[in-house]
Structure formats: structure tokens, C-alpha cells
Amino acid sequence: MITRKERPLTANLRAIRRLASEISSAEAAPLVLVHGGGSFGHPLAKRYAIKEGYKGEASQALGFAETHQAMITLNKLVVDALVQRKLPAVAVSPSSCIVTKSGRIQTMMEEPLKKLLQTGFVPVLYGDAVLDSDLGFTILSGDQLMAYLALRLNAKRIIVGIDVNGLYTADPKTNLSARLISHATLKELKSMQQQIEEAKVTDVTGGMLGKIAELMPPLEKGIPVLVVNAAKSKNVYMALKGEKVTGTLIEKG
């Protein structure tokens, strides 16, 4: 959404600026932002197999550096847009403060992040290439990072911005009969996930259940998740303001 997925290393500047305006206008605080890699991080990470770990090849080490640098470039565009709209956004690089173990967050230096929040700043993190105690290095997804931070920072709620209106009964991009699920409980979500896994088919909801799977731990702790279409103007603004907005609200139940 903030990148042109069909074009490698191409940002969707119009979307970035619009979202920055909505986030700034909402005046939500305290606030932590996490964005994905889109056409900046994903193609490079795939080309060099960063997620699978370090195999001792010099080209892979260079690939790690290229992937991280691409994410820094995208993050700067996001942070610049926020600062230009008078929001005190500060970039926080996951690779400089997080180490994973077999792809899962093992340790994070949280003090600077917490201090930023206490001082009134808006930390902006992202999916990144990070060091891993088992694999050498790997890819840390923005989804895993978002869930981890929500738990560690005792978040009141999580807002997930995607390019459809929320969680559907099927992929709305390929199935015209797909219905929007406006509300779901954690139990219902687990049931849907289990049905898909038992059927051994591709996620019919367009990949959303994989994303939501990372959010199971915060949901278990009672942190609600609201999924909205960030491609539609004002949706993120309304979600941050707590106003009624089309989407999927997921609660522990």
C-alpha cells in the first residue's frame, strides 16, 4: 500500500502522504507505528534468501545489507512525511535493537523505545533484516514486531491497515461472494485457521489469517485488533479517533 508492489523499490508517495496526514490529524497518543516492506524489502529478501538464514556466502551478507538499506530508505520516506505534518516521528531500526532466535524475537533493547514514548515521540519501526542467534540472520516481519510491541508496551488496541475492508469469508479480490466479517472472537478466528490448515489449502481470505496468527498472543491478553482498509481515505483517521469505521473488530470474546 505504501509501495508499488508491481515495481521494485518504488514508493507510493501519494498514499504515504495521505496516511501521514490522517495519522497526524488524529492526534492519537501514545502511538507506535510499524510498517511493512512491500516492494522495497520483499524482492531483495527473496532474492538472497535472507529469511532462511546465513549460509556463509559473501553475496548473502551483501544481500542482508541491501535489504536493510532498502527498508531504511522506505522508512525515511514515511518518517519524513510524518515530520512534515508536524508529528514528532522518530525512526527506530529493528536490526539495531532486536536479536531473534529461529525467526522469533529473543531479545530487544526496549529502554530507548519506552523513553521515546514517555517523551511524546512517535516511534516508527518496520519489518527488517535482523541478526539471529541460530540462523545468523533472518527477516523479522512487521506483523510479528507489531504483536511483540503490543504486549511489551501494554497497548490498549492494535489497528492493522491493509488493502481490503477487513477479514472476509473468502478472498474478496478473487471471489465476488466473499462476505466481510465485521466482528470475530479469538475462538472463531482459531476455528477458521484450523479449518484452513486441515484442508491444506491456501488461505482463502487472501493471506489475512497468516497476519492475524501473529496477533493471537495480544488477543489472548485482551488487546483488541481492528483491521481496516488503509487504502480508503479517512479510514485510518477514524480508526485512530475511535470512530465507527468499516472493518473487522477482533476481540478475545
Residue that is last in its domain, among 155, 178, 211: 155
Answer yes or no: do 61 and 33 share one domain: yes
Q: Please choose, from the candidates 238, 179, 235, 187, the residue with its C-alpha nearest in 3D space to the C-alpha of residue 204.
A: 179
Answer yes or no: do 97 and 186 share one domain: no
Place of cell 473487522: 248
Answer yes or no: do 138 and 32 share one domain: yes
Q: How far is CA 232 from each of CA 149, 163, 186, 235, rounded to the nearest angstrom?
A: 26, 8, 26, 6
Answer yes or no: do 11 and 136 share one domain: yes
Q: Is the dihedral of CA 115, 126, 172, 253 positive or negative?
A: negative
- β-strand 158-162 against 128-132: which pairing, if any? unpaired
Q: Is the dihedral of CA 218, 219, 224, 229 positive or negative?
A: positive
- Residue 226 amino acid letter: L
This prediction's pTM: 0.94
Rounded to 5 degrees, what are φ and ψ at 235? -60, -45
Q: How far apart, in whole angstroms, are the C-alpha atoms of residue 145 and residue 22? A: 23
Answer yes or no: do 121 and 7 share one domain: yes
Answer yes or no: do 144 and 162 share one domain: no
Which DSSP letter does residue 163 get? S
Answer yes or no: do 150 and 168 share one domain: no
Residue that is last in its domain, among 97, 129, 155: 155
CB 23 within 8 A of CB 236: yes
Answer yes or no: do 122 and 247 share one domain: no
CB 75 within 8 A of CB 37: no
CATH number at residue 30: 3.40.1160.10
Answer yes or no: do 123 and 175 share one domain: no
Q: How far is CA 64 from each of CA 45, 61, 125, 128, 145, rounded to the nearest angstrom?
A: 7, 5, 18, 9, 18
Question: In this predicted structure, what is the pLDDT of residue 110?
Answer: 96
> Which stretch of DSSP H or E encloses residue 239?
helix 235-241
Given a cut of 50, the residues of the chain with pLDDT beneath it are: 200-205
Question: In this predicted structure, what is the pLDDT of residue 204?
Answer: 44
Answer yes or no: do 228 and 103 share one domain: no
Q: Please choose, from the candidates 173, 154, 157, 153, the residue with its C-alpha nearest in 3D space to the C-alpha of residue 227.
A: 157
How many separate domains does the chain show? Answer: 2
CB 110 within 8 A of CB 152: yes
Q: Report long-range pairs for 96-99 (Cβ below 8 Å, ≥24 apart).
A: 98/128, 98/130, 98/140, 98/145, 99/130, 99/131, 99/132, 99/133
Question: In this predicted structure, what is the pLDDT of residue 201?
Answer: 46
Answer yes or no: do 70 and 31 share one domain: yes
Residue that is last in its domain, among 128, 155, 182: 155
Answer yes or no: do 203 and 250 share one domain: yes
Question: In this predicted structure, what is the pLDDT of residue 163?
Answer: 92
Domain range for 176 is 156-253
